[in-house]
């Protein structure tokens, strides 16, 4: 555990909350606000859309069904909305009310009638046994406080022979070192907030703390000077997290907390255990899944492929074959290497009866 987290835990009373409450409820946008398939339809004129559509079609290929699908931790509607045109029906659930409201706005904008969103927790699904032909998730299972309980619930609601297809963060591939820390300081009306987030590779985990501080002129000056991250849209008025390094580390590290210790009025935080490829395989098997495949996401190949075509000036000419080309590439999802991938792409089946 890093010194700041140790200090917070050793000196402050932390109210335990979940990631949906502390992080995702407060975001205006959880996904990038121009994300294809969610905020707008895909278009071949954007190279990112070739890559993203390939990922969506790799979900479909790995699902092996176009029936009734459940999306766990859908956020702003990913992957539920981009998958919707290809399946009979899809239900997206999220613990965060704000995310479900946002996803519903996006659904209406895209005009899809076969998608439903509802607030629910992935570890306590309000659905009958075997109610879905397939289950999907986009970096959400590891954001749930009890991911093993979520996997058991997914297994329960899956039809016999159905598959779970999910992307899962792989911190060993994502972080360039053994840990990554970020902070921010901001003012919300007359209150000040310090946010600290950390991810660690061994054991794989992440934690985030939100510390509320009583106002003071020095705090106001520091908050006003905290650098803003361009294009950041978590919530109006917040500057966005900055890596705890260089000047930020000097001004907003442990010395900041020690200096303003007497002004701290409230602390809330969450801690998440993350998976390694091995522990994910074990957890899936313990939940009852078999035929487990853990790969990298197709985006690892798709980005190289489509960027090369773009640089050769060919991508625009291939626009009429946008979907066919993405679909063809998506079939290769089982060949993508896992090594050093920041994201794992997982397929796991419930045995046929
Ligand atoms: C990293 S975001 C991913 C969102 C979306 N799937 C995407 O890929 O853009 C994780 C999501 O999991 C949701 N979440 C956190 N805890 C949850 C829980 N217990 N049950 C359901 N969803 C939860 C969060 O609110 C958030 O929307």
Give strand ranges (E) for the chain.
Answer: 15-16, 68-72, 89-94, 115-119, 132-138, 158-169, 179-188, 191-200, 205-213, 242-243, 264-273, 290-295, 343-349
Classify the phi-psi angles of 230: left when phi > 0, otherwise alpha if psi is within -120 to 50, otherwise beta.
beta
Q: Which of 179, 84, 135 is nearest to 348 (CA)?
A: 135
Q: Which of 345, 332, 347, 295 is nearest to 158 (CA)?
A: 347
- Across the chain, mean pLDDT equals 95
209 vs 270: CA distance, rounded Å: 7
- Picking from 229, 244, 273, the residue at the C-terminal end of a domain is 273
Please report which confidence band the pLDDT of residue 57 belongs to, taking 50, 70 and 90 as the band edges: very high
**pLDDT beyond 80 at 327:** yes
> Are 52 and 164 contained in the same domain?
yes
Neighbours of 76 (CB within 10 A): 28
Closest C-alpha to ligand 1, atom 13: 73
**pLDDT beyond 90 at 353:** no
> Are 230 and 279 contained in the same domain?
no
Mean pLDDT, residues 51-76 taken together: 98
**pLDDT beyond 90 at 144:** yes
Element (H, E) at 51: helix 47-63
> Are 106 and 141 contained in the same domain?
yes
> Are 210 and 321 contained in the same domain?
no
73 C-alpha to ligand 1 centroid (Å): 4
Q: Which of 40, 106, 41, 43 is nearest to 71 (CA)?
A: 106
- Picking from 214, 244, 273, the residue at the C-terminal end of a domain is 273
Query: Residue 246: how many CA atoms within 13 Å on its side-chain side?
Result: 4
DSSP label of 88 = S
pLDDT at 235: 76
> Are 262 and 181 contained in the same domain?
yes
**pLDDT beyond 90 at 334:** yes
- Picking from 273, 305, 328, the residue at the C-terminal end of a domain is 273
- Give the count of domains, the chain: 2
Phi, psi of 300 (to 5 degrees): -60, -35
**pLDDT beyond 90 at 219:** yes
56 vs 330: CA distance, rounded Å: 8
User: How do residues 223-236 score in pLDDT, each as one tens digit?
Assistant: 999 999 887 777 77
Mean pLDDT, residues 296-312 taken together: 95
pTM (2 d.p.): 0.95
> Are 159 and 181 contained in the same domain?
no
> Are 162 and 306 contained in the same domain?
yes
User: Which domain, by its residues, includes 269?
Assistant: 3-28+174-273
CB 18 near ligand 1, within 6 Å:
yes
Q: Which of 40, 80, 41 is nearest to 60 (CA)?
A: 80
CB 98 near ligand 1, within 6 Å:
no
> Are 210 and 229 contained in the same domain?
yes
**pLDDT beyond 90 at 172:** yes
> Are 64 and 163 contained in the same domain?
yes
> Are 190 and 163 contained in the same domain?
no
Phi, psi of 23 (to 5 degrees): -110, -55
* C-alpha torsion 123→197→228→250, nearest 10: 180
Q: Which of 140, 148, 167, 346 to mutate to test the pocket of ligand 1 (most atoms within 8 A of CB)?
A: 140
79 C-alpha to ligand 1 centroid (Å): 11
41 within some domain? no
70 vs 155: CA distance, rounded Å: 12
For 306-350, give the DSSP string. Answer: HHHHHHTT-TGGGGGGHHHHHHHHHGGGGG---TT-SEEEEEEEP
> Are 83 and 218 contained in the same domain?
no
For residue 117, give the CATH number of its domain: 3.40.50.150
Least confident of 15-19, 31-35, 115-119, 156-160: 31-35
């Amino acid at each position: 555990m890093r010194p700041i987290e140790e200090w917070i835990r050793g000196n402050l009373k932390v109210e335990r909350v979940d990631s949906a409450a502390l992080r995702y409820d407060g975001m205006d946008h959880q996904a990038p606000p121009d994300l294809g398939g969610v905020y707008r339809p895909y278009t071949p004129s954007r190279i990112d859309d070739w890559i993203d559509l390939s990922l969506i079609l790799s979900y479909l290929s790995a699902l092996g069904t176009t029936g009734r699908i459940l999306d766990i931790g859908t956020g702003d509607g990913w992957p539920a909305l981009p998958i919707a045109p290809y399946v009979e029906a899809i239900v997206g659930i999220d613990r965060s009310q704000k995310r479900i409201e946002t996803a519903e706005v996006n659904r209406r904008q895209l005009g899809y009638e076969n998608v439903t969103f509802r607030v629910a927790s992935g570890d306590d699904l309000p659905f009958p046994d075997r109610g879905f032909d397939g289950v999907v998730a986009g970096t959400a299972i590891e954001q749930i406080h009890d991911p093993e309980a979520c996997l058991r619930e997914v297994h329960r609601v899956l039809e016999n022979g159905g598959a779970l297809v999910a992307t899962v963060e792989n911190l060993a591939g994502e972080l360039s070192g053994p840990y990554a820390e970020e902070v921010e300081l901001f003012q919300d009306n007359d209150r000040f907030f310090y946010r600290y987030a950390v991810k660690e590779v061994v054991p794989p985990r992440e934690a985030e703390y939100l510390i509320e501080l009583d106002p003071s002129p020095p705090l106001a000056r520091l908050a006003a000077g905290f650098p803003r991250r361009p294009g950041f849209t978590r919530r109006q008025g917040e500057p966005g997290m900055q890596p705890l390094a260089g000047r930020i580390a000097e001004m907003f590290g442990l010395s900041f907390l020690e200096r303003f210790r007497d002004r701290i009025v409230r602390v809330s935080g969450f801690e998440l255990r993350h998976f390694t490829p091995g522990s994910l395989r074990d957890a899936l098997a313990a939940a009852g899944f078999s035929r487990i495949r853990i790969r990298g996401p197709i985006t690892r190949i798709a980005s190289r492929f489509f960027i090369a075509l773009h640089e050769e000036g060919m991508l625009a000419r291939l626009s009429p074959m946008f979907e066919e080309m993405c679909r063809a590439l998506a079939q290769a999802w089982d060949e993508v290497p896992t090594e050093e991938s920041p994201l794992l792409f997982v397929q796991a089946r419930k045995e046929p009866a």
